[in-house]
Amino acid sequence: MRRTSCCSFKTQSLAIVCFVGIGMFWLGAAQASLELYQRNSSIGASFIGRGGVSSDGLGQLAPGGTLQVEIPDGSTVQFALLYAATVFGGDTTSLIFNGQTISLTSLPNVENPGLFSTTRADVTEIVRDFVGSGGGTFNFTVDSDPIFPLLNGVALVVVYANKSLPERSILILDGGLGFDPQTTTVAFRRPVNKSKPGFQATLALGIQHGYQGGGSTDPGTHACGDVVAQYNIVDINSQRLTSCAGNYDDGFAQNGALVTVGGVGDSLDIPADPFQTAGDGTLPRTSDDELYKITGFVNDGDTSLTLTTSNPSRDDSIFLAILTFTGEVTVIPPVTRKFVIFVQGLGTELDTSIIARGFETTFDDLKTLLRSETYGYSVLDFLEFSYRGGAVTADGDWWPNSYGCGDTAQDLIISAEYLAGMIADLQAVHANAKFSLVGHSLGGLVAFTVLEWVAAGILPSGVIESIITLDSPLAGTSVSAALKSLPFPSLSCEVAGLLAVTGAIGDDLDAKADNAADTRKANRQLVADAIAQSSGLRVLTIGNRQDCLYDLNECDVPRPRGRWNAETLTQVVGNPAKNKLHNLDQNCDVTLLDLVQTFKSCVGGSHSIILHSNPADTLNDVATFLGPQVENP
């Protein structure tokens, strides 16, 4: 292919992208892992039984190429999966497969989601109808080849049952691995027994955007390339399997056709020189088909297998791994615990001086609901954010520092950094954990700032599962500045917290003009949409139409002339069907005779009523969105 030497840099704090010819480099990336595909969640494998698996890949320069499936006579198709591997941003969500238009769903566990994407579709019925009861080699056409976004290639995985074959366990792991060394471990429920007749263990890999040299119309070969040093290193149980996985064995030497998938027509031979890398100049050149017989890497009695991968050239992504074992080998699912982090708002306090679980906070009614049998959370699943940070104990528990209401008025960026640091520290000791953020008022704004950092690639995706904001000024509000003019003789900490907006908080809250608020809201909606599409992170914003903090007229707050501006819509972004404004009336008016007390009870009460059990529908909205705790926390 014709290569260019142009290089452009795009910087976003920790992220730098450089495109050099056909390759790329991404620094400061997040970590992800491949996840087991299961048809039945009660079985720790993709398939267990007498049968086998067929896999193939296709990278094409024009529509109409074919994917092949090899199935022995007497087989029955159990299921079939079609994968699309996309590069340079965006998802391939629609393809024409064997004459039928199908929809594909993005997989959230893909590292560098702004760069790589993996989408998947169940095409069982199409394949089953085409194959019928016959056996042999079957060709399936891919009749579309999207350029925007740029589809590198597709993979077809078909699992079949056949009574004449030995019992096998098939583990399909998919998603998208990154560049730095990463480990994917599968734990076996029973130890490996190699004494079974015909025991065999194999590994097939699917890799996108590999290029080791060649002209733009050159079809792929299996030889370890001697021109461009792009390669993946793979170790199994700390033994080197290959140092030259990748290239475009199933495509062509051109962006949009760079894919290789071990399977149909490939050799099971392990590379003769497992340490030879692309472009290293050593001879003779070894072959690598991305399909390997790994029986020699597995020992009797093994209770796990560790797959360690890395991409030192920082340009490829492993999006598929298929492990096959003779006999029953089931995976013990990793402990996936869900934590809920509660972020209180302006003027709140947290006292952790009493060494006890379950600190008293504004979210107590919601916690009670989540601890019900319906949702199954425990007090150990609830984490309190502190505006003064905290630490993870030796037991892996989070212990927040106490804070006062004055701490909540610090620079918004400082608060967001505390929250991001908290998540990073917890994730380091709870590798499979997922976190949901629930923020009220300013707390929602702090959580949304972290969301914006995830969308920008500054923080890793895949760790935060969902964000919920309650009565949060997502588009800013000018009411805080207006309230400062009211004649309060003295302010309690709670009331002062409602009004104390300083530094970056003031910059973000004070909507000095309607167009500024509209722009801020539109930008945050774009962030929410983008992060949902790229990583599956879900966002829910809930507000109260009768929250007097955003419409002082609701509480008849005195004003010398005219009415206060209503800014109710600052509380929600996105689809009104999903992001709700409730009608929660405090039935309370502010009076001049007792301005401070009635302001606190009326305005403060209307701002916090959303957190309490009386309007059960709001708490149910939150609990339903969070979903129940996983079964194996």
Q: What is the pLDDT of residues 306-323, one digit of tens each?
A: 999 999 999 999 999 999
Give the helix/strand (H/E) hosting 538. strand 538-544
120-145 tens-digit pLDDT: 999 999 999 999 888 999 999 999 99
Q: Which residue(s) pair with 439 in the sheet?
A: 343, 469
233 residue type, one letter: I
Contact of 319 with 232, CB cutoff 8 Å:
no
For residue range 156-188, list pLDDT tens digits in order: 999 999 999 988 999 999 999 888 888 888 877
The residues, any chain, with a CB within 8 Å of residue 436's CB and separated by 6 or more, are 338, 339, 340, 341, 464, 465, 466, 467, 468, 626
Under the banding of pLDDT at 50, 70 and 90, the label for residue 70 is very high
What pLDDT is attached to residue 516? 54
Which domains does the chain possess?
9-326 (no CATH), 338-626 (3.40.50)
Enclosing H/E stretch for 154:
strand 150-161
Residues 563-592 have a mean pLDDT of: 70
User: CA end-to-end span of the chain, whole Å?
Assistant: 51
The CA distance from 616 to 29, in Å, is 41
Indicate whether 284 pLDDT > 60. yes
SS3 at position 223: strand
pLDDT tens-digit series, residues 511-556: 444 455 555 555 656 656 665 555 567 888 888 888 877 777 777 7
Query: pLDDT > 90: what percent of the chain?
Result: 41
Q: What pLDDT does residue 18 have? A: 27
pLDDT higher than threshold 70 for residue 210: yes
Range in 242-251, 276-285, 364-373, 590-599 with the lowest mean pLDDT: 590-599
Total residues found in the chain within this entry: 633
Kindly report the number of other CB atoms within 10 A of residue 444's CB atom. Answer: 26
Count of other CB atoms within 10 angstroms of residue 522: 12
What pLDDT sits at residue 92? 94
Do 498 and 488 form a contact (C-beta atoms < 8 A)? no
Q: What is the DSSP letter of 513?
A: S
- Reference 118, options 20, 207, 26; nearest CA is 207
The pLDDT of residue 614: 60
pLDDT at 16: 22
SS3 string, 78-107, reads: EEEEEEEEEECCCCCCEEEECCEEEECEEC
pLDDT of residue 15 exceeding 50, the answer is no
Q: Which whole-number Å values give the CA distances from 49 to 43, 46, 79, 161, in the listed order?
A: 12, 10, 13, 7
How far apart, in whole angstroms, are the C-alpha atoms of residue 4 and residue 145? 23
| Alpha-carbon distances of 573 from 536, 554, 607, rounded to whole Å | 17, 22, 18
Q: 350 or 331, which is more confident?
A: 350
Mean residue pLDDT of the chain comes to 80
Q: Which of 243, 274, 262 is closest to 321 using CA atoms?
A: 262
Phi-psi category of 374—alpha, beta or left, where left has phi over 0 and alpha has psi -120 to 50?
A: alpha
Question: At 211, is the secondary structure helix, strand, or coil?
Answer: coil
In this prediction, residues 226-230 reach a mean pLDDT of 90
Per-residue pLDDT at 586 = 63
CA-CA distance, 294 to 186, in Å (whole number)?
A: 15
- Separation of alpha carbons 106 and 94, rounded Å: 11
Q: Which helix (H) or strand (E) holds 236?
A: strand 232-236
> What's the pLDDT at 504?
37
Instruction: Give mean pLDDT, residues 73-95.
Output: 94
289 or 578: which leads in pLDDT: 289
State the pLDDT at residue 631.
55
- Lowest-confidence region among 69-73, 114-118, 332-336, 385-389: 332-336
Per-residue pLDDT at 208: 96
Question: Which of the pair, 588 or 593, is modelled with greater confidence?
Answer: 588
Give the model confidence (pLDDT) of 338-385 as tens digits.
899 999 988 888 887 754 445 567 898 899 899 888 898 988 889 999
- For residues 574-590, average pLDDT: 68
Cβ of 94: how many Cβ atoms within 10 Å?
Answer: 15
